[in-house]
Amino acid sequence: MAKLADEMIQKARQLDLLTYLQLQQPWELVPIGPNRYRMRTHDSLKIDHGKWYWWSRSIGGRSALDYLVAVEGWEFRKAVMHILDIERIQPTEIPQKKFQEAKGGIPVCLPMRANSNRRVQAYLMQRGIDRDIIDYFFSKGLLYESHPYHNAVFVGRNEKGEPAYAALRSTGTKRFAGEAAGSQKAYAFSFSEGRSATVHVFESAIDLLSYATLQKMRGTDWKAESYVSLGGCSFSVEEGLPPSLSYMLHEKPHIRVIKLHLDNDSAGRSFTQAISKLFQKDYQVINAPPPCGKDVNDYLMMKLKQMEERSQNGAGKNFIHESQRA
C-alpha cells in the first residue's frame, strides 16, 4: 500500500471538527454558548471556537482527523482519505465568524453608580492594590462604586465597547461576591491595550489588579500586558473552556503565550492541567501560580508586609526575589 503523501495529510488536518460535524453529522451538535457546542453522543466532548476537548478522556485537538482517530477509533489512512473525499465533494472553506453572543441573552443590568468611588478605592488599597492602577480603571469606566450598597463593580465590555459583564464585590465587613444580572462570562473583567504576545489569566478581578500591581512594583510597564479574569473561581472543567479566555484569544490573534496565575488549590491545579493539554499545540502554556499564599492577592499582601518589615529594619526598599513563575 502506497504511503500517504505529506501534503495529503496536511490538507486533511486543515478540516476542523466543528466544520466536519456541520457537514456530516449536524445532529450531533448541541449549542451550549457563544460558538460553543457539546456532542450529543459524547456529551463530555466540548467544541469551543474550533478547538475540541473530550473531558472524560482528557484528550483534545482542533482537527477532524484527530477526532476520527482518537475518539471514533478510525485507522489513520482511512480517516485521511475520508476527509479528502469530503473536500472533493463539498468544499469546506468557511469564513471566520465574528464572536457573537448566544441568542436570547439579556443585557447586563449594571448597578447604579454612587456619587464617589471613595469606599472602593479605600477597600482595594487595603487589599494592596496600587492607587494609580485603581484610578486608571476608574477613569476607563471599568471599575466604580455602586449605590446604595457601595460594592466594587468590575465591568467587562464586548467588542462594541458596551458593558456586557459586571462582577460585584462587597467593600464592607459582610462578605459578598457575585455578578450582575445578564452578565456574559465571555466578557468578564479584562484589560488589553498593548501588543504583548502573552495573556495573563486569573480567577478574579482582584487577582488581576493585584498582578498588575506586582508588575508595577517590578518596574514593568503593566499596561503593555494583556490580562483576563475568568469571572469566578467555581471551575467545572466539564463545561469546557472559560468563555473569557476563549474570547480574548479570538479577539487577540497575536497572543501566543497563556500564563495561568490560578489559585494554589486542587481546582486551580486541575484546571491548569486541562488548559495545558488543550492548548499545547497552538500556544505556549505556562503554569505560574503565586509562589506562596492561596492566590495572587494573598501573595501581594505577603510581599507588601515583608517590604514594610524590611523598611522598618533599615533594609531599604528591596524586597524578596520573586520566583520566575510569578
pLDDT class for 246, splitting at 50, 70, 90?
A: confident
Span 161-169, mean pLDDT? 94
Span 230-258, mean pLDDT? 77
Contact status, residue 259 vs residue 227, Cβ threshold 8 Å: no
Nearest-angstrom CA–CA distance, 40 and 286: 33
286-317 in b/e burial notation, b at 16+ Cβ within 10 A?
Answer: bbbbbbebebbbbbbebbbeebeeeeeeeeee
Helices (H), the chain: 6-13, 17-24, 64-70, 76-89, 118-126, 131-139, 205-217, 243-251, 266-279, 296-312
Q: What's the Cα-to-Cα distance from 250 to each of 41, 43, 176, 187, rounded to whole Å?
A: 27, 24, 32, 12
Span 289-298, mean pLDDT? 95
Amino acid identity, residue 200?
H
Contact status, residue 145 vs residue 116, Cβ threshold 8 Å: yes
Q: What is the pTM of this model?
A: 0.69
Span 52-80, mean pLDDT? 91
- Mean pLDDT score of the chain: 84
- Count, residues in the chain: 326
CA 112 to chain centre: 28
| Residue partners of 325: CB distance under 8 A and separation at least 6 | 286, 287, 288, 289, 291
Q: Does residue 259 sit in helix, strand or coil?
A: strand
Q: What is the pLDDT of residues 140-151, one digit of tens each?
A: 999 999 998 899
Q: Please, what are the domains in the chain?
A: 6-89 (3.90.580.10), 118-312 (3.40.1360.10)
Q: What is the pLDDT of residues 197-215, one digit of tens each?
A: 999 999 999 999 999 999 9
